[in-house]
Amino acid sequence: MRLRSPTFLLLALAAVLFGVNAGGPFPSLTAYVTSGTLLLAWVWTWLLGRTLSVTLSAEGRRFTVGDQAPITLYVENQGPLPVPRLELADRSGLDPPAAPPQPMALGPFAERRLTRTLVLDRRGRYRAGPVEVAFGDPFGLFEIRRRVHGGRRFVVYPREARVTSLPLRCRQPFGRVPTRLRAHQDPTSIADVRPMVPGDSPRFIHWKASARRGELHVKEFELRASTEIMLVLDMQQAVQAGTGGRCTDETAASLALGIARFALRRDLPVGLLALSSRRVRLAPGRGRRHLWELRERLVDLQPDGTVPLARWLAREAAALTPASSLVVITPRLDRTLARLLLRIRRGGVDVIVLHLLAETFDAGRGPEPFRAGLRDMMAAHGIAVLGLGADGQGWDALQETPPEAGVPGVR
């Protein structure tokens, strides 16, 4: 509780001193009225602070970028005193900004429910509010201010891009076709368990079977010639472009989720690799549960990285195998990154670059130097480079059929 009008307090003290020193009915009446009003205002505000209840909540726990989230503010006066002045101010900083606080009144044992709809244009984990609540006595002398936060968090997932085609090279040729591509063991699919022989890797020991049978046994995996997709997202803050939902990092997350869905439909393992303020790595896997895990990782992946993509990807490249297809999603293409991808490609790894054209997300940005030459050089060495713009440019390469009207490539 705070005093809104220090002037009235000084007047009340002056009236009391005047009444004590001067005597007489009028000075005494003035002292009683001013001091009584001050005491009444304090008690009134104190009681309202104990009987006024304010709660804030979002109607729903899971949303997708672009959804509208109803935010409900419930105000209840549980006491016999009316609330002559009640102000509510949105301090969440979300778009669109709320209207300026409008004073309202609330009667004894009354309640009021206010609903506001927010357009969610960024993925992440949020809590409704805060909303600043201010109320006080009828004389405007005292005031209580509270900040109310939503009780539970809600999650905003990236919107899934529409990906029905990806220029992956088939590692499982049809018919009797000569090929230099070898089959690879799939560690996610166990074919058999057998006794360990010299030359077997201790990494594949099946400890439960070994303990049960009294000798070391190893796991054998199914052989697959199909590819596994490793998604690489550039989350360096300095290279991002655009604002709100029309920005490169949101588009990258949307693309990653769409490609993961594409891989799920074709029974291809898909993993995730990114570096923001922390390292994010999800090993390749299949199935709806794995897709859900990848979706959760994308929610927490924010564009706050400080290390350039080429620098940290060079450290991660050693873990890639010839069975991998690297899908790099980045808003910046430079010589350092191009040289690294060419080296990875020479190691037998298939590489696809989804280049988000930054100038289409931000009119103040221009194209990178030597972009056309770098793309031609990488294409000559078997690296597919697709330029994707916020205006729909290049999205047809990821779709077997034209996309629906609206945001390019997003459903």
The reported pTM is: 0.73
Contacts by 190-197, CB closer than 8 A, 24 or more apart:
190/219, 190/220, 190/221, 190/222, 191/220, 191/221, 191/222, 192/219, 192/220, 193/217, 193/218, 193/219, 193/220, 194/218, 194/220
Where in the chain are the domains?
A: 57-132+150-157, 185-223, 228-398
Q: What is the pLDDT along the chain (411 residues), one digit of tens a residue?
A: 887 777 777 777 777 776 777 777 777 777 778 888 888 989 999 999 999 998 888 888 899 998 988 888 899 999 999 999 898 887 776 555 555 566 789 999 999 998 888 888 899 998 887 888 999 988 888 899 999 888 788 999 999 999 998 887 655 443 343 444 444 555 555 668 889 988 888 888 999 999 999 999 988 765 454 578 999 999 999 999 998 888 999 999 999 999 999 998 888 899 999 999 889 999 999 899 999 999 999 999 999 999 999 999 999 887 777 778 899 999 999 999 999 999 999 888 889 999 999 999 998 888 888 888 999 999 999 999 999 999 888 999 898 754 444 445 554
CATH number 3.40.50.10540 is the correct assignment for the domain at 228-398: no
Name the fold adopted by 57-132+150-157: Immunoglobulin-like (2.60.40)
Count of H-run helices and E-run strands, the chain: 9, 21
Say which residues have a Cβ less than 8 Å from residue 11's Cβ, sequence separation at least 6. 34
Could you tell me the CA-to-CA distances from 361 to 101, 340, 357, 390 in Å, in that order? 34, 26, 7, 6
Q: What's the rounded Cα separation, in Å, for the pair 118 and 95?
A: 7
